[in-house]
Amino acid sequence: MSDTQRTAIVTGASAGVGKEAARALLQRGWRVIGIGRDATRCVAAEADLRAEAGGDFTMLRADLSSMADTARVAREVATLAPEIDALLNNAGGVVAERTITPEGFEATFASNHLAPFLLTQKLLPNLRAAAARRGPGAVRVIAVSSTGHEQSQGIQWDDLSFANNFVGGAAYCHAKLANILFTRELARRVADDGIVAHAMHPGVVASNFASHCDAPMQAYMESILDRSVTPAQAADTLVWLASAEEPGRSSGGYFHQRAELTPSAAAQDDAQALKLWQLSEAMVAGF
Nearest to 116 by CA among 56, 185, 204: 185
For 137, counting Cβ atoms within 10 Å of its Cβ (0-12 exposed, 13-18 middle, 19+ buried), the class is middle
Question: Would you say 63 and 107 are in contact if contact means Cβ atoms under 8 Å apart?
Answer: no
Instruction: Quote helix, strand, coil % in the chain, to nearest 5.
Output: 50, 15, 35
Backbone angles phi, psi at 45, to 5 degrees: -65, -40
Which DSSP letter does residue 55 get?
A: -
Whether residue 220 lies in the annotated active site: no
Is 1 part of a structural domain of the chain? no
- What average pLDDT score do residues 226-248 get? 91
For 167, counting Cβ atoms within 10 Å of its Cβ (0-12 exposed, 13-18 middle, 19+ buried), the class is middle
- What average pLDDT score do residues 254-281 get? 98
State the pLDDT confidence band at 204, using cuts at 50, 70 and 90: confident
Is 81 part of a structural domain of the chain? yes
pTM metric for this prediction: 0.92
The one catalytic residue in 57, 172, 254, 277 is: 172
Q: Residue 225: which domain range?
A: 7-283
Is 117 part of a structural domain of the chain? yes
State the pLDDT confidence band at 226, using cuts at 50, 70 and 90: low
Residues 95-144: tens digit of each pLDDT:
889 999 999 999 999 999 999 999 999 999 999 999 999 999 999 999 99
* CATH number, position 43: 3.40.50.720
Q: Measured in whole angstroms, how far is the alpha carbon of residue 147 from the centre of its chain?
A: 15
Number of domains the chain is built from: 1
pLDDT at 278: 98
pLDDT at 181 over 80: yes
Is 2 part of a structural domain of the chain? no
Question: Would you say 169 and 94 are in contact if contact means Cβ atoms under 8 Å apart?
Answer: yes
Is 264 part of a structural domain of the chain? yes
